[in-house]
Amino acid sequence: MFEGLSLTTIVLFLPMVGFTILLFLNQETQKEQIKWTAFGTTMVTFFASLILWAGFDPNNPALQMVHRFTWLNVQVGNVAINSDYYVGVDGLSLLLVLLTTFIMPIATLASFSSGVLAERGREKLYYAFLLLLEWAMIGVFVVQDLIVFYVFWEVTLVPMYFLVGIWGGEQRVYAAVKFFLYTMAGSILMLIAILYVGNVAGTFVLPDVVARVTAPDFSWTATTAASASDITGALLFFGFFIAFAIKVPVFPFHSWLPDAHVQAPTAGSVILAGVLLKMGTYGLVRFNLQMFPAESIQFAPLIGVLAVIGIIYGAWVSYAQTDVKKLVAYSSVSHLGFVVLGIFSLNAQGIQGATLQMVNHGISTGGLFLLVGMLYERYHTKDMAAYGGIWSKAPWFGAVALVVALSSMGLPGLNGFVGEFTILLGSVGSKYLGFFFTLFATLGVIMAAVYILYMFQRVFMGDYKAPGGHDGHGHGHGHDAHSDDNPLKLHWNEVVVLIPILILIFWIGLQPGGFFDTMDAATNQLVAHVEAANETTVAGALEQNGLTVGTGTTTTEVASNPGN
């Protein structure tokens, strides 16, 4: 069990160490210690993951720092169930682990000054849930075994349910329940698919399953030969896809997101937007593309359409919002529409762009939620009408908000643009999506500007409206701890929280090279893997879908785009 212990497991279980320490602290007397242990653990995990990144060899596409032992190898009737605790990091998942460990300290620090937490108390429980959530999230990203992945996938729901349920806004219970049930319903389908796959492939360990799937004579219906009408593969593909789509959320499944975001506490929505949504997209890359390359190719156009609708629909609806958190929530739908588009362009630019955009979205939307959270702390309402002219009273706050807004709008030179540009570049040249996907997707860029600037203008410009509402009902905010000279003055922890986000926004904006290198090798391997399935089925699939294959499928010595 412990031989071959690798850094990945250490990083994975560090939060649990913090969690256990927390258990022994007393809720009433040791409030400070609780706060600082939680923050300390998240920082330690962050540094550990940095070491993980340092130790990571970018041009080796395989899984690294692997720690594997079989924990379940049982023969039930004629069914052999063997699943390993198989943990490893490769190009695709490393960045997301880093994002998780980066977001968590920020979320923890942000909740130091959270009014809701002070009011409802139970800090120990709160921070314990945070650490539990971090553990589960890292688990989702590093685990390679289907069953263990499913376990971690479900475990993430529990802490988030409580975070939203206990410390959320007014209809927190409704939102929490809806969030839980939606994701749970989706993952039920995934569970069925996992079991079927495990059974057919004989093992639950992902790399082995993938190896078996790519074997030439493999067919999902173990008995009959792979016939054109064989829809088992498609059903499995959609089993996984729907679970991830609900999580992403892709267009039709997104109605839980606004509720969850609006009702979640600041730290909760930062994590929810920052990392939890990425689990869906990461799942798509890790499971759907790897295990069902042929189906991915076959359904790429369909999912592309959904993604583009998501982009435009998300942007358009968020323009009509009055609740600022709901606006940012719908913006996430739009941004993640880009990510899904990138993934299903099935070429190197697309996937790398998508992965980077996941990180960018985590940072910029995380930043937006932090800012909105800070406003909520002071104004105690999320309605934009109550805000106004904040920039005049809090210049720094306004400046930071401007930078974060521009980054999420995709201003070139900042991190948002790098991701979006690569994704759109990928989607133009992709063999499965086409020029028109990009055309409509790029419209999203304009609409992003529309709602972001509208929000910025309503909140930060115009006449200054003091907290507590200017329309007379301003009952004295007695308890408003910071009602000193300027109510909008930032606390120390709020400033400290924003600085890393700004640094990353500029760093990724100006020098994304480091990030691209990390995932380069792994993405190429994935693309080659998908391409391999392409030769065999694309002709059939395309005819099936009535798409005419481009005139010169043979890549003549034409002004061929360099490696789509």
Partner 1 sequence: MHTETYPQLIPLVILIPALGAFINIFWGSKLTERVSGLIGITAAVLTFIISVLIFSHLNGHHGTGSVINPVIFQTWLRIDSIGLDIPWQFRVDPLTAVMLLVVTGVGSLIHIYSMGYMHGDKKFSRFFAYLNLFMMFMLLLVTSNNFLMLFVGWEGVGVMSYLLIGFNWDKGGALGWKNSNAARKAMIVNRVGDFGVLMAIFMIFWTFGTLTFYQPGETANVCYAREVNNLGACAEESHSEGEAAAAEGETAAAEGDHSEGETVAEAEGDHSEGEAAAAEGETVAEAEGDHSEGETAEGEGDHSEGETAAAEGDHSEGETAEGEGGHGGEPVVLADVDNSKFASYTDLGVFGQTAHYMSLEEGSPERLVQFGTLALDFKTVLFIIVLFLLLGVAGKSAQIPLFVWLPDAMAGPTPVSALMHAATMVTAGVFLLIRSNVFLDYVPEARLVIAIIGSVTALMAGFIALGQWDIKRVLAFSTVSQLGFMVAAVGLGAYVAALFHLATHAVFKALLFLGSGSVIHGVEHGHHHVHAHGNGPGHGHGNGPDDHHDAHDEHVDEAFDPQDMRNMGGLASRMPITYWTYLFGTFALAGLPFFAGFWSKDEILADAFHEALEGHLLLDNLAGYIVLGLLLVAAGFTAFYMWRQVQMVFHGDPRTEAAASAPESSAWMTIPLLVLAFFSFTVGFVNVPKYTPIFSGFMGIQDYEFKHFLESAIPSVTLKESLAFNTPLALLAVVIAFSAIALSHSIYGGNKAVQGRRDPLHVNRSTRQMWSLANARLYWDEIYFRLIENPYNRLSKFLYEVVDWRFLHDYFHDSVLKAGYDSMGKLLAKPFDLGIIDGTVNGVGALVRLLSGRVRVVQTGYVRVYAVILLLGVVAVLLIMLLPLLQVQAGS
Residues 209-268 that bind partner 1 (CB under 8 A): 252, 254-255, 258-259
CB count in 10 Å sphere of residue 255: 11
For position 29 contacting partner 1 by CB under 8 A, the verdict is: no
Tell which residue, 83, 292, 71, has the closest CA to residue 203: 83
Q: Which of 17, 226, 411, 466 binds partner 1 (CB under 8 A)?
A: 411
**Please, what sign has the CA dihedral across residues 341, 344, 345, 347?**
positive
Q: Which of 242, 276, 308, 414 binds partner 1 (CB under 8 A)?
A: 414
CA separation for the pair 436, 305 (Å, rounded): 10
Q: Which of 62, 211, 532, 549 binds partner 1 (CB under 8 A)?
A: 549
For position 188 contacting partner 1 by CB under 8 A, the verdict is: no
Question: Which two three-digit tokens encode residue 282?
Answer: 């990461």
Beta bridge partners of 345: none
CA separation for the pair 209, 290 (Å, rounded): 9
Decide if 470 contacts 338 (C-beta within 8 A): no
Q: Which of 453, 466, 480, 489 binds partner 1 (CB under 8 A)?
A: 453
For position 183 contacting partner 1 by CB under 8 A, the verdict is: no
**Please, what sign has the CA dihedral across residues 119, 120, 125, 126?**
negative
Annotate 151-174 with b (16+ C-beta within 10 A) or e (fewer): ebbbbbbebbbbbbbbbbbeebee
Q: Please say which residue, 16 or 461, places its beta carbon nearer to partner 1.
A: 461
| 462 backbone φψ class: left, alpha, beta (φ>0; ψ -120 to 50) | left
Spatial CB neighbours of 408, under 8 Å, sequence gap ≥ 6: 331, 335, 361, 364, 365, 367, 368, 416, 448, 452
For position 450 contacting partner 1 by CB under 8 A, the verdict is: yes
Spatial CB neighbours of 151, under 8 Å, sequence gap ≥ 6: 139
Q: Is 499 helix (H, G, I), strand (E, B) or coil?
A: helix
**Matching residue, tokens 């041009």:** 59
For position 540 contacting partner 1 by CB under 8 A, the verdict is: no
Question: Applying CB under 8 A, what is the total number of residues that bind partner 1?
Answer: 85
Q: Least Å distance between CB 104 and partner 1?
A: 22
Q: Which of 4, 55, 413, 540 binds partner 1 (CB under 8 A)?
A: 413
For position 510 contacting partner 1 by CB under 8 A, the verdict is: yes
Give the binding range for partner 1 (CB under 8 A) out of 97-105, 222-230, 232-240, 418-426. Answer: 418-426
For position 56 contacting partner 1 by CB under 8 A, the verdict is: no
CB count in 10 Å sphere of residue 446: 10
Q: Which of 503, 532, 540, 544 binds partner 1 (CB under 8 A)?
A: 503
Q: Which of 296, 518, 523, 534 binds partner 1 (CB under 8 A)?
A: 523
Q: Please say which residue, 413 or 474, places its beta carbon nearer to partner 1.
A: 413
Q: φ, ψ for residue 80 (rounded to 5)?
A: -95, 120
Q: Least Å distance between CB 255 and partner 1?
A: 4
Q: Please say which residue, 152 or 338, places its beta carbon nearer to partner 1.
A: 338
Footprint of partner 1 on 381-410 (CB under 8 A): 389, 391-392, 399, 403, 406
DSSP annotation of 253: G
Q: Please say which residue, 347 or 364, places its beta carbon nearer to partner 1.
A: 347
Helix (H) or strand (E) holding 208: helix 206-214
CB count in 10 Å sphere of residue 540: 12
For position 418 contacting partner 1 by CB under 8 A, the verdict is: yes
Q: Please say which residue, 136 or 324, places its beta carbon nearer to partner 1.
A: 324
Footprint of partner 1 on 457-496 (CB under 8 A): 457, 461-463
> What x-and-dash track marks residues 314-353 binding partner 1 by CB under 8 A?
--xx-xxx-------------------------xxx--x-
Q: Least Å distance between CB 316 and partner 1?
A: 5
Q: Least Å distance between CB 13 and partner 1?
A: 32
Residues in the chain, total:
564
Give the binding range for partner 1 (CB under 8 A) out of 156-164, 222-230, 360-368, 413-421. Answer: 413-421
Q: Which of 235, 381, 454, 469 binds partner 1 (CB under 8 A)?
A: 454
- Where does residue 77 rank: exposed (0-12), middle (13-18), buried (19+ CB within 10 A)? exposed
DSSP annotation of 8: H
Q: Which of 39, 287, 313, 387 binds partner 1 (CB under 8 A)?
A: 313
Q: Which of 46, 179, 238, 432 binds partner 1 (CB under 8 A)?
A: 432
Cα Rg, the chain, nearest whole Å: 24
Q: Which of 434, 477, 483, 496 binds partner 1 (CB under 8 A)?
A: 434
Footprint of partner 1 on 159-178 (CB under 8 A): 178
CA separation for the pair 252, 248 (Å, rounded): 11
**Matching residue, tokens 């499928």:** 553
For position 296 contacting partner 1 by CB under 8 A, the verdict is: no
Q: Which of 30, 33, 199, 442 binds partner 1 (CB under 8 A)?
A: 442
